[in-house]
């Protein structure tokens, strides 16, 4: 049982900021080109059953994180296998986000700064947040979320003079197969990456509804993604978006009000910085909780630094260049499927069966 607790608003802010993570800068999948907004709406609705499944797992076992739940459901051996898999996913995702961030900074701003320094600085901030405690993280997320949203809104307002609504045309040109793939890619990255919030579920208050937390965060996140997509599509057009690594950066770069208000792309970098730190922190906590569960260590904060070092080492060797990074992002939706859908599905079905069995046993006793 975890002593630190966060409010439902803090949890919503954490999940929303986590969703923005790298997606604010990479944008969500533009596989469906000008119809990507339809894919986004479809993804939002189609991801809801999966999100409700995550919430149901928390609801069935309140006051417990995912790792405690799997240990209770499957015992020590199978439980530990699931913990290892989910911990690996958390470490890998964290390393990926860190590398995304360092590549972005290196390409757009700090050309000569060693990448490892950018990764270390970002990781140290996250380690400091984790060590400060979950409540501090929740409060921090509540503060940064309005800043991220305001930045997005401002960039849209400032780009009004250069947007071209014709970039949305022709509507419904994408074939069904392409639309389905684009929708699934958005579901997989980033909507169901929120599975990594499950290990942190023990920090939620018992009275707070996990359904409300998860669904609000997903809907709010998708709304902001819609605005980001609207800005990128109308400013750049689908062809140019497909050609660039960082569409949000490219879209805001050409914003110019008169001759004095320029270089607004810094706002996108600030967004990425905040949202990136939130995503890295969630992954770091999930990974630390997993390792502490495996080693039966009661306080996960004691192993945050070595876990961070593991992530740092992985992020430096994970890709040799940005092309490799983009290649992996292309197959990421297949790689993430077991972690985001299959494992939670197995946990949920087992949890429902055990919950019903417990109810029957209780009734028989009374």
Partner 1 sequence: MNLTIVLVLYFLIIIFDFLPLLKKDNKKVISFYIGTSLLTLIILVLYSFDIVIPSPVKPIEDIINNIF
Q: What are phi and psi of 6, to 5 degrees?
A: -120, 155
Q: How far is the CB of 74 from partner 1 (least distance, A)?
A: 23
> Is residue 317 a contact residue for partner 1 (CB under 8 A)?
yes
Question: What does the block give as tokens for 349?
Answer: 């079905």
The nearer residue to partner 1, 10 or 307, going by C-beta atoms, is 307
Long-range contacts of 348-354 (CB under 8 A, 24+ apart): 348/53, 348/56, 348/57, 350/73, 350/74, 351/56, 351/57, 351/60, 351/61, 351/69, 351/73, 352/56, 352/60, 354/73
CB of 318 to partner 1, least distance (A): 5
Establish if 160 lies at the interface with partner 1 (CB under 8 A): no
Residue closest to 18 by CA, chosen among 286, 226, 208: 286
Rounded CA separation 231/22 (Å) = 17
Q: Does 331 bind partner 1 (CB under 8 A)?
A: yes
For partner 1, which is the closer residue by CB, 215 or 318?
Answer: 318
Which DSSP symbol is given to 169? P
Interaction between residue 166 and partner 1 (CB under 8 A): no
**Cα 107 from Cα 322, distance rounded (Å):** 10
Binding-residue pattern over the window 70 to 109 for partner 1, x denoting contact by CB under 8 A: ----------------------x-----------------
Please identify, among the stretches 6-14, 154-162, 206-214, 305-313, the one whose residues bind partner 1 according to the rule CB under 8 A. 305-313
Kindly indicate which of the ranges 41-49, 54-62, 191-199, 288-296 contains the residues binding partner 1, using the contact rule CB under 8 A. 288-296
Q: Which stretch binds partner 1 (CB under 8 A): 146-154, 190-198, 234-242, 307-315?
A: 307-315
Does 329 bind partner 1 (CB under 8 A)? Our answer is: no
Closest CA to 340 of 189, 210, 141: 189
- Of the residues 3, 169, 206, 296, which one makes contact with partner 1 according to CB under 8 A: 296
Give whichever of 259 and 296 is closer to partner 1, judged by the CB atom.
296
Please report whether residue 328 would count as binding partner 1 according to CB under 8 A. Answer: yes
Please enumerate in sequence order all residues whose Cβ is within 8 A of that of 151, keeping only pairs 6 or more positions apart, or say none.
267, 268, 270, 271
At its nearest, how many Å lie between partner 1 and the CB of residue 290?
Answer: 13
- The binding track of 246-285 with respect to partner 1, each residue x by CB under 8 A or -, is ----------------------------------------
2: left (phi over 0), alpha (psi -120 to 50) or beta: beta
Residue 351 tokens read as 């949890």
Least distance to partner 1 from the beta carbon of 211, Å?
A: 33
Token pair listed for 273:
């910085």
303 is written with which tokens? 């192993």
For residue 264, report the phi and psi dihedrals to the nearest 5 degrees. -80, -10
**What residues make contact with partner 1 under the rule CB under 8 A?**
92, 114, 116-117, 120, 291, 295-297, 302-303, 305-307, 309-310, 312-314, 316-320, 324, 327-328, 331, 334-335
């Amino acid at each position: 049982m975890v002593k630190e607790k966060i409010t439902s608003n803090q949890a919503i802010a954490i999940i929303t900021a986590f969703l923005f993570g790298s997606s604010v800068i990479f944008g969500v999948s533009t596989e469906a080109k000008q119809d990507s907004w339809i894919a986004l709406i479809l993804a939002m609705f189609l991801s809801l059953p999966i999100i409700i499944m995550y919430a149901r797992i928390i609801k069935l076992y309140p006051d417990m994180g995912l790792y405690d739940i799997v240990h209770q459901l499957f015992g020590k051996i199978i439980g530990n296998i699931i913990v290892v898999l989910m911990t690996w996913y958390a470490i890998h995702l964290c390393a990926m986000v860190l590398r995304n961030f360092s590549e972005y900074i290196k390409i757009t701003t700090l050309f000569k700064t060693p990448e490892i320094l950018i990764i270390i600085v970002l990781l140290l901030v996250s380690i400091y947040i984790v060590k400060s405690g979950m409540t501090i993280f929740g409060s921090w997320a509540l503060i940064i979320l309005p800043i991220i949203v305001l930045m997005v809104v401002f960039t849209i307002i400032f780009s009004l003079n250069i947007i071209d609504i014709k970039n949305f045309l022709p509507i419904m040109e994408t074939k069904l197969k392409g639309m389905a793939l684009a929708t699934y890619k958005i579901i997989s990255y980033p909507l169901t990456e929120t599975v990594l919030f499950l290990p942190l579920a023990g920090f939620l208050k018992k009275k707070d509804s996990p359904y409300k937390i998860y669904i609000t965060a997903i809907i709010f996140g998708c709304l902001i993604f819609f605005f980001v997509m609207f800005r990128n599509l109308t400013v750049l057009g689908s062809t140019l978006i497909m050609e660039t690594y960082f569409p949000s950066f490219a879209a805001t770069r050409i914003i110019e009000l008169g001759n004095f208000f320029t270089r607004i792309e810094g706002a996108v970098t600030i967004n990425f910085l905040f949202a990136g730190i939130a995503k890295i922190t969630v992954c770091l906590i999930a990974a630390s909780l997993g390792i502490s569960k495996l080693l039966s260590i009661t306080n996960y904060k004691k192993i945050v630094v070595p876990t961070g070092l593991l992530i740092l080492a992985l992020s430096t060797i994970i890709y040799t260049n940005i092309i490799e990074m983009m290649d992996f992002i292309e197959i990421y939706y297949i790689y993430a499927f077991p972690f985001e859908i299959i494992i939670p599905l197995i946990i949920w079905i087992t949890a429902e069966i055990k919950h019903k069995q417990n109810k029957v046993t209780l009734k028989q006793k009374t």
